[in-house]
């Protein structure tokens, strides 16, 4: 229903195009799931957003876009990374566990940043941690430390920890909002990837999520639709299906007329320079001496080669008929 109410706002994306793309992806997933695979399946549907220009400011914190059908529910496995450095105002892990239990917050594990540095140094340990939980939350004070600690597997699976503010008392609201939102990262490139659905959902639910994700993403893009180059839908191991493509910006130029005009200006400038040199007038003496009038430069008209040859033959005949000893000769 929310997607239908916003249908007018997404006028540049046809809903039937989204439905066809989602149907094709779900059909591909059902056919490929019968084949044996080495690694576990990735059941998410991704929206690829390509911009015309790189954003002027890089954001570490993602934009949260509300979805009508959340990708995660209260039964999901959530890991919370806290700051346990010296003189940190973050509450102790025991206090956070008591808060989680009293408010019935769906957090499965509380992980200290010091334990993340020591116990998860090997690549295999980081990979196992990434696959063990559906969502990662982190204290916003240590977000800048994570890229070197979590490894590239978190970036591949789009499981970058989402920052929470412990100075506020609404930890449960922040967790529930993270469960029902799609995360849009706009950093140092023109391409952004957003999780918008799961293969286990119905086709209509995925279409509604794609619709609302497009609306929310366009609101965060500089210049709105004028800053978007293309939109694609894909699975983790499938090709990208286009659902929107902006027309290229082409400026028409009449280069022929421009070149002729430029050549004419160059010719006039050369004639003026030549006439000034012939007259002997300097640039500073233009007011003292009068400029000499120079004739126009006419183009040479070349005669036909046949006419020239005939005239040359006639002249030779006349010279042969004259006496050898005449004064003219």
Cα(203)–Cα(127) distance, rounded to whole angstroms? 31
Cβ(161)–Cβ(81) below 8 Å: yes
Mean pLDDT computed over 159-172: 81
Residues 6+ apart with CB under 8 A from 177: 64, 66
**Cα atoms found within 13 Å of the Cα of residue 257, Cβ hemisphere only:** 3
pLDDT at 17 over 70: yes
The CATH class that applies to domain 1-33+43-63+184-247 reads alpha beta
- Owner of token pair 């022929």: 256
pLDDT at 314 over 60: no
What number does CATH give the domain 72-179?
3.40.50.790
Q: What phi and psi, each to the nearest 5 degrees, are found at residue 195?
A: -75, 125
Mean pLDDT computed over 155-169: 80
| Structure tokens that stand for 286 in this block | 């233009």
- Owner of token pair 């890089």: 58
Cα(296)–Cα(311) distance, rounded to whole angstroms? 30
Cα(100)–Cα(80) distance, rounded to whole angstroms? 11
Listed range (163-167, 175-179, 249-253) with the worst mean pLDDT = 249-253
Q: What is the pLDDT of residue 7?
A: 46
Q: What is the pLDDT of residue 48?
A: 92
Cα(89)–Cα(83) distance, rounded to whole angstroms? 8
Q: What is the pLDDT of residue 326?
A: 46
| Structure tokens that stand for 216 in this block | 């929310």
**Torsion sign across C-alpha atoms 92, 98, 99, 100:** positive
Cα(178)–Cα(209) distance, rounded to whole angstroms? 15
pLDDT tens digits for 270-299?
A: 555 554 455 554 444 544 555 555 555 544
pLDDT tens digits for 194-248?
A: 889 888 888 999 999 999 999 999 988 888 888 899 999 998 888 899 998 888 7
Q: 3-state class of 44 per DSSP?
A: strand
- The alpha-helical segments, DSSP class H, found in 6-161 are 15-32, 93-102, 113-119, 123-132, 147-150, 152-156
Give the number of other Cβ atoms within 10 Å of residue 316's Cβ. Answer: 9
Q: What phi and psi, each to the nearest 5 degrees, are found at residue 151?
A: 90, 170
Q: 3-state class of 273 per DSSP?
A: helix
Percent of the chain with pLDDT over 70: 68
Residues linked to residue 220 through DSSP beta bridges, in sequence order: none
**Torsion sign across C-alpha atoms 23, 27, 28, 30:** positive
Q: What is the pLDDT of residue 209?
A: 92
Confidence band, pLDDT 50/70/90 cuts, at residue 170: confident
**Torsion sign across C-alpha atoms 223, 224, 225, 230:** positive
Residues 6+ apart with CB under 8 A from 321: none
Higher pLDDT, 18 or 91: 18
CA distances to 62, 142, 176, 177, 184 from 173, in Å: 17, 21, 5, 6, 20
Q: What is the pLDDT of residue 315?
A: 52
CA distances to 6, 239, 265, 285 from 281, in Å: 75, 73, 22, 6
Q: Where are the domains of the chain?
A: 1-33+43-63+184-247, 72-179
Listed range (64-68, 104-108, 172-176, 300-304) with the worst mean pLDDT = 300-304
Mean pLDDT computed over 298-316: 50
Percent of the chain with pLDDT over 90: 12
Domains 1-33+43-63+184-247 and 72-179 share a fold: no
Instruction: Give the chain's end-to-end CA distance (angstroms, integer).
Output: 111
pLDDT at 16 over 70: yes
DSSP 221: S
Cα(152)–Cα(40) distance, rounded to whole angstroms? 17
Q: What is the pLDDT of residue 301?
A: 47
pLDDT at 135 over 70: yes
Q: What is the pLDDT of residue 311?
A: 56
């Amino acid at each position: 229903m929310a997607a239908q109410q916003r249908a007018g706002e997404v006028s540049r994306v046809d809903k039937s195009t989204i439905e066809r793309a989602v149907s094709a992806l779900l059909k591909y997933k059902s056919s490929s799931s019968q084949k044996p695979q080495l690694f576990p399946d990735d059941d998410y549907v991704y929206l690829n957003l390509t911009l015309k220009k790189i954003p002027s400011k890089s954001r570490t914190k993602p934009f949260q876009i509300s979805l009508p059908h959340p990708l995660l529910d209260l039964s999901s496995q959530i890991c919370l990374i806290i700051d346990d450095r010296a003189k940190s105002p973050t509450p102790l892990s025991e206090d956070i566990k008591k808060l989680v239990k009293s408010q019935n917050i769906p957090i499965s594990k509380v992980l200290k940043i010091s334990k993340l540095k020591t116990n998860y140094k090997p690549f295999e340990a980081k990979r196992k941690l990434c696959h063990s939980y559906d969502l990662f939350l982190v204290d916003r004070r240590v977000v800048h430390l994570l890229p070197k600690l979590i490894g590239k597997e978190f970036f591949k699976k789009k499981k970058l920890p989402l920052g929470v503010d412990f100075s506020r008392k609404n930890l449960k609201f922040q967790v529930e909002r993270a469960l029902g939102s799609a995360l849009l990262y706009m950093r140092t490139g023109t391409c952004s990837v957003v999780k918008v659905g799961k293969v286990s959902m119905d086709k209509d639910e995925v279409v509604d999520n794609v619709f609302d994700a497009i609306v929310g993403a366009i609101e965060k893009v500089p210049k709105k639709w004028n800053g978007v180059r293309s939109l694609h839908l894909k699975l983790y191991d499938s090709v990208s299906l286009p659902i929107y493509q902006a027309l290229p910006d082409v400026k028409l130029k009449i280069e022929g007329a421009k070149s002729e005009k430029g050549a004419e200006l160059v010719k006039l400038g050369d004639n003026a320079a030549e006439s000034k040199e012939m007259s002997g007038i300097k640039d500073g003496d233009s007011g003292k001496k009068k400029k000499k009038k120079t004739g126009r430069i006419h183009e040479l008209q070349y005669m036909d080669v046949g006419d020239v040859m005939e005239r040359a033959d006639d002249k030779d005949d006349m010279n042969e008929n004259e006496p050898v000893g005449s004064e003219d000769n």
